[in-house]
A and B are shown apart, each in its own frame.
Chain A
Amino acid sequence: MPHITRRALAAATAVLLGATALTACGSGSGGGEGAGTGPVELTYWAWAPGMDKVAALWNAEHPDIRVTVQKQASGDDLVTKIITAAKAHEGPDLVQAEYQALPTLVSNDALADIAKETRGVEDKFAPGVWQQTTFGGEAVYALPQDSGPMMFFYRADLFRQYGLTVPTTWDEFAATARALKEKAPDKALTTFSANDAGLFAGLAQQAGARWWTFEGDTWKVGVDDAATRKVADFWGGLVAEGAIDNQPMYTPAWNKALNTGEQIAWVSAVWAPGTLTTAAPATKGKWAMAPLPQWTRGASATGSWGGSSTAVTSDSQHKEAAAKFAVWLNTDPKALAALVKESGIYPAATAAQTSGALAQAPDFFSNQPDFYTRAAEIAKTTAPAAWGPNVNVAYTSFKDEFGKAAKARTRAAFGTALTSVRNTTVADLRKQGFEVAP
């Protein structure tokens, strides 16, 4: 009975297509923006906790521009998501983006230049931070939101117990690690971890490394430049002689080592108190913070680890309104106070770093009342960073290569790893179609 068959199939197909069409209509009309007379509607992809509460403050004061925060998960996956959305012209108006992700987003045409809308804002930020959102050029691709100046965190009580002094240079740091091993062989000053390249990048930055630079129309990759070699060799040497541990950070074992005092120091950034609160709850009030050890005695430079910015997307229909919100969010004292309180960030705006919102030391560091005063001093010394369009590739390669090197426990392995990271980064840049200097 072929005629019945065909009719039945046709009917089934029609039902399916009908359903699809209906859904399409229903959702299409719901998703459209009321671009006519109502307020401007902006969507903002951010991951910082409590950002919706900060946006609510804006919405209460600005009935003509309404911002809706859509909370996302941070990281490289979000960068991919933003780029995909930009390709389909379906992205939000504003995105939160880590500094090292900005070149990737810009080279994918995902971000708008908001130099015109942000005139006069520049001097509210430290030059090293501002440069990360402009790449040293005329265009402004984002406004700095939070920064992560690096510092040295140590267990004040155990340093006293073992008669150790706080290292001010990296040589002293190495000597301290050896001294501790001698006095307490089952303890370690800290660990070399390969699972977050941001830490190593920050240390290299402090030493003066410039990983990506742009000249004319070619990229120069300096992932294995002299400064970075020095840093890799230093840590490789400490791991090889067994002066420090070689286990990765952010694992249950690492949490335990911090909590029980097996590791008594951590090279980290201003946000460390938050991490320590969950990782090592038993050590509350026993830590202290000091500036990062220096390569030359008397110098004062630090790197940055973490930190993010607010960017306007190239697809936004309301770039001016979006930029206005971004400026408010990152420079208005009220907004910054709310960001500190609700999102727990360390603001990039210099005025906010010494403001009332940060008058009190973090709970975990209540024994160091001038925590944020000192932090603000250190933040001023942040060395400039040089990010390129494939930081994610370099970071992934770093995790693999230095993970192996840390396990191998030889100085030479660290050097080999650095060369591999450099080669992988260069090869990927070429594959993406960039001109790369040899």
Chain B
Amino acid sequence: MTGLTSPAPRTTAPAAGPTPGAAQGPPPAADAGTRGPRRTALLPTAALVLGALYCLLPVAWVLVAATKPGDALFSTFTFLPGTGLGDNVTDLTAYRDGIYWRWMLNSVLYAGLGAVLSTAVSALAGYALAVYRFPGREAFFNVMLTGVLMPPVILAIPQYLLLAEAGLTGTYASVLLPLILSPYGVYLGRVYAEAAIPMELVEAGRMDGAGEWRIFLRIALPMLSPGLVTIFLFQFVAIWNNFLLPFIMLGDDEKFPMTVGLFTLLKQGASQPALYTLVITGALLAIAPLIALFLVIQRFWSLDLLSGAVKS
């Protein structure tokens, strides 16, 4: 193990970033001695810093680029902020009578309603799979699990053809329906329900004469809520970023979500320049609701207060 790990910091640390290396004092001597543990902590830190940069740099780029007026976008230094953010937002709002905000509303509808419905289905299914014993339970769960492995992208066209049979393509429902059943959500729901809901509590509820619905709604649901918040967030972000499904399903640009809508600004044919400034500003504004959602929902993410309800 040591043979593998010890040369790594020596070669990567100076290249990866001199700052953490300098903060750690003089470069490590040949025999590590007490510095051993410190040296091993350097590598993860450097890796995390690199990872953070990797994730945040594009966001920073979008943030800066959205402040630049169109003629400065590619001609000034990449991370030099401009003064055009207000104008860019005004231009975006003026574009085709503010259709951008319609796309934003559509996205909120698809992601919000879709995530709520999908969370509800995941909660019910997960709870049922975790608490009840019925024939075919494992088989159902395993089939579900293969669904987790299936990328949603390859399902978009079959789903389109199926919904076309039902005459539903081009409607709001065509984007919402395929997203309601999320295999990953059901999987998370079951795993979480198994861990969070002690069977004793369910039994106690039954002894006291509560019906199954009552037990689910009044006892299980509050205990499940941190898990459900996670499922909700996962689904919300997944639907918010979804592109191919709405792209295939919808023809009417009034029903587009933001992802598909902004794409039409980028691809206006060979004879028309792409509206980069508007797209970048639109992309920046599209991040805002996600950040707000995370900030608001964080408080529901706290540990379940009922975890001490039974002794185990």
* Chain A residues within CB distance 8 Å of chain B: 1-2, 4-6, 8-9, 12, 16, 20, 23-24, 26-28, 30-31, 43, 45, 47-49, 52, 70-75, 77, 81, 84-85, 87-90, 92, 98, 146, 148, 196, 198, 252, 255-256, 259-260, 269-271, 274-275, 277-279, 281-282, 305-308, 343-346
Q: Find the A residue at minimum CB distance from B265.
A: A73
Q: Which of B246-301 contact A (CB under 8 A)?
A: 247-248, 251-253, 260, 263-264, 266-274, 276
Among the 9-residue stretches B27-35, B68-76, B146-154, the one with 4 or more Cβ atoms under 8 Å from chain A is B68-76
Query: Is B38 at the interface (CB under 8 A from chain A)?
Result: no
Question: Beyond A70-B252, A71-B253, is A278–B268 a contact (Cβ under 8 Å)?
Answer: no
Q: Do residues B74 and A252 form an inter-chain contact, with CB atoms below 8 A?
A: yes
Please give the distance in Å from B208's CB to the nearest CB on chain A: 14
Instruction: Give the chain A neighbours of B74 by CB distance below 8 A.
Output: 252, 255-256, 259, 279
Other A-B pairs, 11, CB within 8 Å; known A31-B167, A98-B269:
A9-B128, A31-B168, A71-B96, A73-B266, A74-B267, A88-B160, A88-B169, A252-B73, A260-B75, A278-B276, A306-B269
* Chain B residues within CB distance 8 Å of chain A: 70-71, 73-75, 96, 121, 124, 128, 132-134, 157, 160-161, 164-174, 176-177, 206, 211-213, 247-248, 251-253, 260, 263-264, 266-274, 276
CA gap between A85 and B164 in the complex, in Å: 9
Instruction: Give the chain A neighbours of B168 by CB distance below 8 A.
Output: 23-24, 27-28, 31
Instruction: Give the chain B neighbours of A8 by CB distance below 8 A.
Output: 128, 212-213
Please give the distance in Å from B232's CB to the nearest CB on chain A: 18
CA gap between A215 and B43 in the complex, in Å: 65
CA gap between A196 and B75 in the complex, in Å: 23
Q: Do residues B173 and A27 form an inter-chain contact, with CB atoms below 8 A?
A: yes
Q: Do residues A255 and B269 form an inter-chain contact, with CB atoms below 8 A?
A: no
Please give the distance in Å from B87's CB to the nearest CB on chain A: 15
Instruction: Give the chain B neighbours of A279 by CB distance below 8 A.
Output: 74, 273
CA gap between A271 and B268 in the complex, in Å: 12
Question: Beyond A146-B271, A256-B74, A271-B271, is A5–B132 a contact (Cβ under 8 Å)?
Answer: yes
Taking a contact as CB atoms closer than 8 A, the residue among A30, A73, A88 that contacts B164 in the complex is A88
Instruction: Give the chain A neighbours of B213 by CB distance below 8 A.
Output: 8
Q: Find the A residue at minimum CB distance from B76.
A: A256
Write 13 A-B pairs (CB below 8 A) sorted by A numbering: A2-B134, A4-B211, A20-B177, A23-B173, A26-B173, A49-B268, A72-B251, A73-B267, A77-B247, A88-B165, A88-B169, A256-B75, A259-B74
CA gap between A281 and B74 in the complex, in Å: 10
Q: Do residues A281 and B164 form an inter-chain contact, with CB atoms below 8 A?
A: no
Taking a contact as CB atoms closer than 8 A, the residue among A52, A71, A282, A308 that contacts B75 in the complex is A282
CA gap between A84 and B121 in the complex, in Å: 30
Q: Do residues B270 and A47 form an inter-chain contact, with CB atoms below 8 A?
A: no
Q: Do residues A89 and B271 form an inter-chain contact, with CB atoms below 8 A?
A: no
Q: Find the A residue at minimum CB distance from B206.
A: A1
Please give the distance in Å from A327's CB to the nearest CB on chain B: 21
Q: Do residues B134 and A6 form an inter-chain contact, with CB atoms below 8 A?
A: yes
Question: Beyond A24-B168, A271-B271, is A88–B263 a contact (Cβ under 8 Å)?
Answer: no
Q: Find the B residue at minimum CB distance from A268.
A: B270
Q: Find the B residue at minimum CB distance from A28.
A: B167
Please give the distance in Å from A253's CB to the nearest CB on chain B: 8
Q: Find the B residue at minimum CB distance from A5.
A: B132
Instruction: Give the chain B neighbours of A269 by CB distance below 8 A.
Output: 270-271
Please give the distance in Å from B62's CB to the nearest CB on chain A: 14
CA gap between A43 and B263 in the complex, in Å: 20
Please give the distance in Å from B94's CB to the nearest CB on chain A: 13
